């Protein structure tokens, strides 16, 4: 009997130790640990098989996306993924397979997205991901061209007559806790020498409802999100988004370190949508450009030179498939965020460089 | 026992007329003295305001259009519309199985069975359903009736065994129909479980989580009581490890880290299956502890009596100990299964579209921004219906088996 009890105790202690070890592995340490294994795994993967060939073998692209961001990623009523980010997933699928629907969107939370990419379960992250230095370096990501320049903004009531940060002296601001948004708010108000009172919430729904109920003078988050939420306020016309930007939020696709061919492919698919807008090529008029003499257009559409093979794709018209099946940048933007949507979001920085924005795609040559 | 006797004698003192008349009831229960009367009035005023605001919201403010517009999404997630007939077939067959086992069940819970058979007719009254949906519901009712007649031809003593076969066959056919068989362009193309969603997925996760974790949990409980040190230690380690971590961490481990542990080139395990495994493993540990409680409540004399009769360890466990132990823990187990059903919502956090995941993506649809109250209200009602049905069925079962009464 005594020995049995001893064994029982040993078992308990053993299980506790194992539990603790595993718990230690799983807690926040998951970040750096995963990175280590990623660095070990990425070069190995490159030697073994390139991302492109894995994708082609699988027969579909696995795109790590968002399923809960209005305008960028959600399921429509028919159960299809839709949104600005999803359209870029579709564009990559169209380039690789000539079929924008050869795609599986893998919804992920903000926390798990990088781990899923590192583990090889996804091929690319297009999930309103801000390009930052630590993500680019520590986390082992490569960021493609920014598809959407966002920035943190402030919404206030019109009647308050606020125009600049200085006018918000002593104001209360609704903000989501534990985010870069909260830190940016503190940084910007401190550097402007403005005192404010932060009213913090766990998620943006709560924060925004509180603002609507008048519990704070201003509410802050990314501008695109502010615009989309404005329509849901009880009196949308009584509110205004200030013309100040508290932070830079360049959102774009990210891939794993160590596979340059795949990185190039993602880059040039994004550039192709911008170039198509620059040349005025849309999904509906692309046929009329087939006889074009302009060598820039001929190279983009694959009529001259074999540029798709340079990113590993045999189909010379890979960018044309992107344009016919998904559209150029303006079409993607307008479909999801433009004047015909509830957002009616002005292009602003997201205009071509020729229209006063900062979208500037290098030439295909 | 004594309390029941006291109440009944207490009641019998009162005149029958007063017991049943509303005024008498009110006076006795709500206005027995000044303090109680005040409390009653305050509560009434409070309830009035709550009910008024609730009704005003439900009938004037709320935009219920979001529910019919996304109804398919709520019910079946991304399951392709062209394959929806397979889901209806699953429902017809469910109706038939309920019909075929009706006489058997009705002995035990007639109320539940009768309720089950009327469900299709109640559902047909939902205003926004199309005629096609109503027709499908009607066919389900017809299938139930057909099943009921077929059972009439079975000899009574074979019905129990037949019911088990019917249910097992149903489960296999259901999975085949849902998953699909044959080629991509065949009559029943495969539908990856990733596309299963909404209520369909929540119910499947809960059902298979419960049915798979139960035997595992019982085995672990027996293992923990075992005389063999190796088995006992392993069981203890398993149970204590699983109970020491939250379910969400198991789910994250399954979704995010499993791939890092598996060798290169190992085929990807389906994400939904991974979630199901995590839920099952988690629930089994808790089931084991609940069953252990039952095992320990069996008096020593039962074991000794079984031994004295010359039963083997296996025979005494299966025939003497387990039936008594399980009967004693039915309420706890059902409580745990209900919480498992609700815990399945955690899979929404790992990117699987169960009922809650679907609700959250509907809220991100630009057409339906700002309708979270309506959507969450409906999701809550759906969860309530299924959780309450489970607890109702368990209460009937307890009464039937005489739990707490010897």
Question: Percentage of residues in chain A with pLDDT exceeding 90?
Answer: 59
Between positions 352 and 371 of B, the ones with CB within 8 A of A are 353, 357-358, 360-367, 369-370
B236 to A119: CB separation less than 8 angstroms, yes or no: no
Of A77, A121, A205, the CB nearest to B69: A77
A252, A143 Cβ separation under 8 angstroms:
yes
Cβ atoms within 10 Å of B357's Cβ, excluding its own: 25
Pick the CATH number of A149-250 from 3.40.366.10, 3.40.50.970, 3.40.190.10, 3.40.50.1980: 3.40.190.10
Q: What would the DSSP string read from start to end of B150-172?
A: HHHTS-GGGHHHHHHHHHHHHHH
Nearest chain B residue to A19, by CA: B241
Burial letters A19-47, b for 16+ CB under 10 A, else e: beeeeeebeeebeebbbeebeebbeebbe
Task: Give the residue carrying structure tokens 């399954």.
Answer: B254
Between positions 241 and 270 of A, the ones with CB within 8 A of B are none
Q: At what angle do helices B131-152 and B102-124 cross, to 10 degrees?
A: 170
Question: Percentage of residues in chain A with pLDDT exceeding 70?
Answer: 87
B233 to A106: CB separation less than 8 angstroms, yes or no: no
- Residue A45 tokens read as 């993967």
Between positions 244 and 283 of B, the ones with CB within 8 A of A are 244-245, 249, 252-253, 255-257, 259-260, 264, 268
pLDDT level of residue B171 (50, 70, 90 thresholds): very high
CA proximity to A344, closest of A245, A236, A208, A270: A236
Helix (H) or strand (E) holding A106: strand A103-107
Distance (Å, whole) CA B332 – CA A65: 40
User: Which residues make beta-bridge pairs with A256?
Assistant: A141
Mean pLDDT score, A133-159: 93
For testing contact with chain B, the best of A11, A12, A102 (most B CBs within 10 A): A11
A237, A133 Cβ separation under 8 angstroms:
no
> What's the maximum distance between 2 C-alpha atoms anywhere in chain A?
93
Q: What would the DSSP string read from start to end of A44-69?
A: HHHHH--HHHHHHHHTSEEEEE-SSB
Answering whether pTM is above 0.90, one says: no
User: Which residue blocks in A217-294 are alpha helix, DSSP H?
Assistant: 223-230, 260-279
User: Is the pLDDT confidence value at B238 over 70?
Assistant: yes
Domain architecture of chain B: domains with CATH: 1-42 (no CATH), 78-191 (no CATH), 198-406 (1.10.3720.10)
Between positions 271 and 300 of A, the ones with CB within 8 A of B are none
In this prediction the ipTM stands at 0.81
A129, A252 Cβ separation under 8 angstroms:
yes
3 state SS of A234: coil
Distance (Å, whole) CA B283 – CA B276: 10
Mean pLDDT score, B73-91: 92
A11 to B252: CB separation less than 8 angstroms, yes or no: no
Q: Is A225 on the interface with B (CB under 8 A)?
A: no
Q: Is A341 on the interface with B (CB under 8 A)?
A: yes
- Residue B21 tokens read as 């008349």
Q: How far is A120 from chain B (nearest CA, A)?
A: 8
CA proximity to A104, closest of B188, B268, B266: B268
- ∠ CA A270-A274-A276, nearest 5°, is 115
Q: What would the DSSP string read from start to end of B169-230?
A: HHHHHHHHHHH--S-TTSSS----GGGB-HHHHHHHHHHHHHHHHHHHHHHHHHHHH-S-HH
Which pLDDT value is given to residue A215? 92
User: Is the pLDDT confidence value at A325 over 90?
Assistant: yes
For testing contact with chain A, the best of B364, B374, B375, B376 (most A CBs within 10 A): B364
Mean of pLDDT over chain A: 85
DSSP, res A73: B
Q: Is A71 on the interface with B (CB under 8 A)?
A: yes
B367 to A342: CB separation less than 8 angstroms, yes or no: yes
B255 to A342: CB separation less than 8 angstroms, yes or no: no
Which pLDDT value is given to residue B17? 59
User: Is the pLDDT confidence value at A114 over 70?
Assistant: yes
Mean pLDDT score, A50-55: 94
Domain boundaries, chain A: 49-147+252-355, 149-250
Distance (Å, whole) CA A349 – CA A248: 11
B365 to A74: CB separation less than 8 angstroms, yes or no: yes
- ∠ CA A201-A241-A205, nearest 5°, is 25
User: Is the pLDDT confidence value at B266 over 60?
Assistant: yes
Cβ atoms within 10 Å of B396's Cβ, excluding its own: 15
Q: What would the DSSP string read from start to end of A150-167?
A: EEEEEEEEGGG---SGGG
pLDDT level of residue B349 (50, 70, 90 thresholds): confident
Q: Is B226 on the interface with A (CB under 8 A)?
A: no
User: Is the pLDDT confidence value at A294 over 80?
Assistant: yes
Q: Which fold has domain A49-147+252-355?
A: D-Maltodextrin-Binding Protein; domain 2 (3.40.190)
When comparing pLDDT for B108 and B137, which is higher?
B137
Distance (Å, whole) CA B63 – CA B362: 14
A184, A266 Cβ separation under 8 angstroms:
no
- pLDDT tens digits, one per residue of A2-20: 444 444 454 455 455 455 4
Q: How far is A194 from chain B (nearest CA, A)?
A: 32
The dihedral over CA atoms of A179, A181, A182, A183, expressed in degrees to the nearest 10, equals 90
- pLDDT tens digits, one per residue of A195-206: 999 999 877 778
Count helices and strands in chain B by DSSP H and E runs: 21, 0
Mean pLDDT score, A15-27: 47
Which pLDDT value is given to residue B181? 86
Q: Is B13 on the interface with A (CB under 8 A)?
A: no
A107 to B369: CB separation less than 8 angstroms, yes or no: no
3 state SS of A261: helix
pLDDT level of residue B265 (50, 70, 90 thresholds): low
Between positions 18 and 37 of A, the ones with CB within 8 A of B are 18-19, 22-23, 26, 30, 34, 37
Which pLDDT value is given to residue A239? 92
Q: How far is A63 from chain B (nearest CA, A)?
A: 13
Which pLDDT value is given to residue B405? 58
B233 to A7: CB separation less than 8 angstroms, yes or no: yes
Helix (H) or strand (E) holding A172: strand A171-176
CA proximity to A54, closest of A127, A144, A120: A120
pLDDT level of residue B254 (50, 70, 90 thresholds): confident
Distance (Å, whole) CA A194 – CA A191: 8
- pLDDT tens digits, one per residue of B177-217: 999 888 888 888 999 898 999 999 999 999 999 999 999 99
Between positions 109 and 168 of A, the ones with CB within 8 A of B are 109, 112, 115-116, 118-121
Which pLDDT value is given to residue B108? 53
Of B73, B244, B367, the CB nearest to A19: B244
Beta carbons within 8 Å of A141's beta carbon, 6+ residues apart: A114, A117, A125, A135, A254, A255, A256, A257
Between positions 189 and 218 of A, the ones with CB within 8 A of B are 205
- Residue B95 tokens read as 């109706």
Which pLDDT value is given to residue A23? 47
- pLDDT tens digits, one per residue of A55-75: 999 999 999 999 988 889 999
Cβ atoms within 10 Å of B346's Cβ, excluding its own: 21
> Could you tell me the sign of the dihedral formed by the alpha carbons of A249, A255, A258, A262, in that order?
negative
Helix (H) or strand (E) holding B43: helix B34-56
Total CB pairs under 8 A between chain A and B = 135
Helix (H) or strand (E) holding A201: strand A196-201
User: Is the pLDDT confidence value at A44 over 80?
Assistant: no
- pLDDT tens digits, one per residue of A65-108: 999 888 899 999 999 999 999 999 999 999 999 999 999 999 98
- Which residues of chain B are within 8 Å of residue A22 when distances are taken between CB atoms? 241, 245
Which pLDDT value is given to residue A27? 41
């Amino acid at each position: 009997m005594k020995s049995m009890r001893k064994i029982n105790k040993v078992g308990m202690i053993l299980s506790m130790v194992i539990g603790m070890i595993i718990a230690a592995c799983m807690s926040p340490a998951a970040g750096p640990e995963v990175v280590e294994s990623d660095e070990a795994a990425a070069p190995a993967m490159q030697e073994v098989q390139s991302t492109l060939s894995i994708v082609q073998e699988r027969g579909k692209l696995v795109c790590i996306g968002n399923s809960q961001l209005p305008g960028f990623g959600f399921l429509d009523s028919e159960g299809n993924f839709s949104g600005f980010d999803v359209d870029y997933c579709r564009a990559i699928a169209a380039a690789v397979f000539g079929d924008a629907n050869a795609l599986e969107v893998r919804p992920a939370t903000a926390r798990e997205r990088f781990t899923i990419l590192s583990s090889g379960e996804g091929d690319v992250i297009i999930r309103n991901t801000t390009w930052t230095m630590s993500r680019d370096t520590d986390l082992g990501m490569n960021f493609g061209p920014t598809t959407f320049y966002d920035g943190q903004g402030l919404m206030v009531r019109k009647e308050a007559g606020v125009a600049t940060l200085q006018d918000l002296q002593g104001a209360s601001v609704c903000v989501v806790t534990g985010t870069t948004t909260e830190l940016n708010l503190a940084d910007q108000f401190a550097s402007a020498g403005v005192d404010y009172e932060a009213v913090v919430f766990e998620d943006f729904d709560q924060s925004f409802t509180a603002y609507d109920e008048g519990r704070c003078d201003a509410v802050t988050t990314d501008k695109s999100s502010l615009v989309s939420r404005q329509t849901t306020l009880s009196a949308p016309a009584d509110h205004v988004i200030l013309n100040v930007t508290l932070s830079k939020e360049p959102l774009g696709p990210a891939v794993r370190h160590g596979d340059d061919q795949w990185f190039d492919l993602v880059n040039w698919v994004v550039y192709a949508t911008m170039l198509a807008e620059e040349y005025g090529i849309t999904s509906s008029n692309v046929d009329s450009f087939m006889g074009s003499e302009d060598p820039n257009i001929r190279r983009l559409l694959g009529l001259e030179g074999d540029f798709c093979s340079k990113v590993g794709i045999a189909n010379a018209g890979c960018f044309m498939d992107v344009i016919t099946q998904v559209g150029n940048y303006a079409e993607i933007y307008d479909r999801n965020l433009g004047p015909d949507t509830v957002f009616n979001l002005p292009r602003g920085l997201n205009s071509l460089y020729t229209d006063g924005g900062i979208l500037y795609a290098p030439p295909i040559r | 026992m004594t309390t029941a006797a006291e109440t009944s004698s207490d009641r019998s003192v009162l005149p029958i007329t007063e017991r049943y008349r509303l005024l008498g009831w009110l006076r006795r229960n709500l206005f027995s003295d000044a303090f109680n009367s005040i409390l009653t009035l305050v509560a009434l005023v409070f309830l009035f305001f709550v009910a008024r605001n609730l009704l005003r919201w439900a009938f004037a403010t709320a935009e219920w259009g979001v529910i019919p517009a996304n109804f398919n999404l709520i019910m079946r997630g991304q399951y392709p519309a062209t394959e929806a007939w397979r889901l209806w077939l699953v429902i017809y067959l469910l109706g038939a199985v309920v019909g075929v086992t009706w006489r058997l069940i009705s002995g035990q819970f007639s109320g539940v069975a009768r309720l089950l058979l009327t469900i299709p007719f109640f559902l047909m009254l939902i205003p926004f359903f199309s005629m096609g949906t109503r027709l499908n519901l009607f066919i389900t009712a017809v299938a139930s009736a057909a099943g009921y007649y077929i059972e009439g031809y079975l000899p009574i003593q074979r019905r129990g065994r037949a019911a088990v076969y019917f249910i097992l066959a149903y489960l296999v056919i259901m999975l085949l129909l849902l998953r699909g068989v044959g080629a991509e362009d065949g009559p029943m193309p495969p539908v990856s479980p990733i596309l299963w969603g909404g209520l369909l997925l929540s119910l499947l996760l809960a059902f298979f989580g419960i049915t798979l974790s139960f035997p595992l949990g019982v085995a672990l409980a027996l293992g923990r009581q075992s005389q063999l040190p190796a088995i006992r230690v392993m069981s203890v380690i398993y149970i204590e490890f699983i109970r020491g971590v939250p379910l969400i961490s198991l789910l994250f481990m399954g979704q995010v880290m499993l791939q890092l542990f598996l060798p290169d080139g190992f085929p990807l395990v389906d994400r939904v299956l991974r979630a199901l495994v995590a839920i099952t493993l988690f629930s089994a540990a808790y089931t084991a502890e609940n069953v252990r409680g039952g095992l320990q409540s069996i008096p020593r004399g039962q074991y000794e009596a079984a031994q004295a009769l010359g039963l083997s360890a296996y025979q005494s466990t299966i025939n003497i100990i387990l039936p008594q132990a399980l009967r004693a823990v039915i309420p706890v187990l059902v409580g745990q299964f209900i919480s498992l059903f609700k815990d399945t919502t955690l899979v929404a956090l790992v990117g699987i579209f169960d009922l809650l995941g679907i609700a959250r993506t509907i809220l991100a649809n630009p057409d339906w921004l700002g309708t979270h109250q309506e959507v969450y209200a409906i999701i809550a009602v759906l969860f309530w219906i299924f959780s309450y049905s489970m607890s109702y069925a368990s209460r009937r079962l307890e009464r039937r088996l005489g739990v707490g009464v010897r």
